[in-house]
Amino acid sequence: MEVVVKNISGVETSRKINLDETIFGIEPNDHAIYLDVKQYLANNRQGTHKAKEKGEVRKSTRKLKKQKGTGGARAGSMKNPLYKGGGRVFGPRPRDYSFKLNKKLKQLARRSALTYKFQENNITVLEDFNFESPKTKEICTLKNNLKLNDKKSILILPKENKNIYLSSRNLQDFEVVVASELNTYAILKAKNVLILESSVAEIEKNLK
């Protein structure tokens, strides 16, 4: 599976790179993708929601009316959930939403997501580059050269690069991620996947 390497000007170079079929050309597993995305979103939930129940509300505990003879239902204090300001019945409590997935299943999900992007011709391999200083204008120029304006894109780096990361931080439709931290949700959320030439080996090492 050969792909032409482009430069940051959007021009095809004379070089080609071979993408591993076991990562970019497998039979996609939709259920593995579903589970991995579900875990990613669940792990990002704070789970700090809380509502006061009957025993936690500050209200008078005086009995509102006599127990019998009124023709209505029995009524205790104003803490009763049926009254305004009363406690909530079975309200939300703080909890941990995270759950565990096997490493091989997560790798399968990421290979499936990359395969979908390759089948849609939305993977672009770029030759390695760097910025002398953080400039958002440089990333905007890169997007313009690759005709990615108004399209959600993700750039995969082989290792952390402070200048590239800071240059893209203010752009809502452009995300930079290190190959070792690549996740299924980020791949699927992006319309286009940009991979640096040296990142291909890192992706293959992590997902094989």
- Domains within the chain, CATH numbers bracketed: 2-45+98-207 (3.40.1370.10), 48-96 (no CATH)
Q: What pLDDT is attached to residue 149?
A: 82
Beta strands in the chain (DSSP E): 2-6, 12-18, 123-126, 153-157, 174-178, 192-196
CA atoms within 13 A on the CB side of 165: 8
User: What's the pLDDT band for 9 if we cut at 50, 70, 90?
Assistant: confident
How much is the mean pLDDT over the chain? Answer: 92
- Whole-number Å distance between alpha carbons of 119 and 152: 18
**Average pLDDT of 66-85?**
91
User: What's the pLDDT band for 14 if we cut at 50, 70, 90?
Assistant: confident
Q: What pLDDT is attached to residue 12?
A: 84
pLDDT score of 151 more than 90: no
pLDDT digits (tens, 9 = 90+) for 113-136: 999 999 998 999 999 888 889 999
Q: What pLDDT is attached to residue 32?
A: 96
Return the H-helix or E-strand segment holding 114: helix 103-119
